[in-house]
Structure 1
Amino acid sequence: MKKIYYLESCDTCKRIIKEIDLPQAFIKQNIKTEGITEEELEELYNLAGSYEALFSRRAQRYREQNLKDKELLDEDYKNLILEHYTFLKRPVIVNNDEIFIGNSKKTVAAAKAAIHSNT
């Protein structure tokens, strides 16, 4: 599967999509208009190894709900991501059996290299 989970209104996501120059074969899923399903989240979990790796601590709701003061289990991260799209760290890029999570320069460079290595 070749897919990117992103937020269309996010300038960082737009910049990364442009920088990586995603091939047409990639499915783009705007998580605000097309929420992530439990099945999709399970697929991401299987690639990432944990729900915590997919979880964004930068979400406003993270602060609003005082989640930093709580001890969260992997199941809690899963439920929060399913509850609201902003809890998914963005973008999440799936390139067959590889996953790239977030917007760090290192992650974006690795995703770009992996995507364009076979073209």
Structure 2
Amino acid sequence: MKKVYHLSSCNTCQKIIKELELPNSFELQDIKAEEITKEQVEEMHALAKSYEALFSRRARLYRERELNKKELSEQDYKDLILDHYTFLKRPVIIYNDEIFIGNSKKTVAAAKAAIHG
């Protein structure tokens, strides 16, 4: 699988996608325009081994819902990601059987190295 889950309105996501110089074989999914499905989240989890790793604590709703004051379980993380796209840490890049989550320089460099050898 070659896929990127991103937000087209996110400048950071767009910058990373451009930097990665993705081959045409990659599928891009704007998670605001096309909601992520339960199956897609479970596919990500199978690679990441954790819903928490996929979860963004930077989402505005995280504080608004006072989730920062709660102890969240793996099921909570999964449910929240499915509830609202902003809870998915972005971008999520899947290349074959590897997953790269988020926008840290290290993650982006690892994704680029994997994609371009």
TM-score interval, smaller chain:
over 0.9
| Runs of 4+ residues deviating >2 angstroms | none
Q: Which residue of 1 aligns with 2:38?
A: 38
* Cα deviation code 1:23-66 (max 9, x no counterpart): 10000000001010000000000000010000000000001001
Q: May I ask how many residue pairs the two structures share in their alignment?
A: 117
Q: State how 1:3-18 maps to structure 2 within 5 Å.
A: 3-18=3-18
Q: Which residue of 2 aligns with 1:84?
A: 84
**Which structure 2 residue ranges, 5 or more long, are not aligned?**
none
The alignment status of 1:29 with 2:29, answered yes or no, reads yes
Counterparts of 2:88 and 2:103, CA distance in 1: 12
The alignment status of 1:52 with 2:64, answered yes or no, reads no
The structural deviation recorded for 1:74 is: 0.2
The structural deviation recorded for 1:93 is: 0.1
**Which structure 1 residue ranges, 5 or more long, are not aligned?**
none
The structural deviation recorded for 1:107 is: 0.1
Q: In the alignment, residue 85 of structure 1 is paired with which amino acid?
A: Y
Counterparts of 1:98 and 1:85, CA distance in 2: 22
* Same amino acid, percent of matched pairs: 69
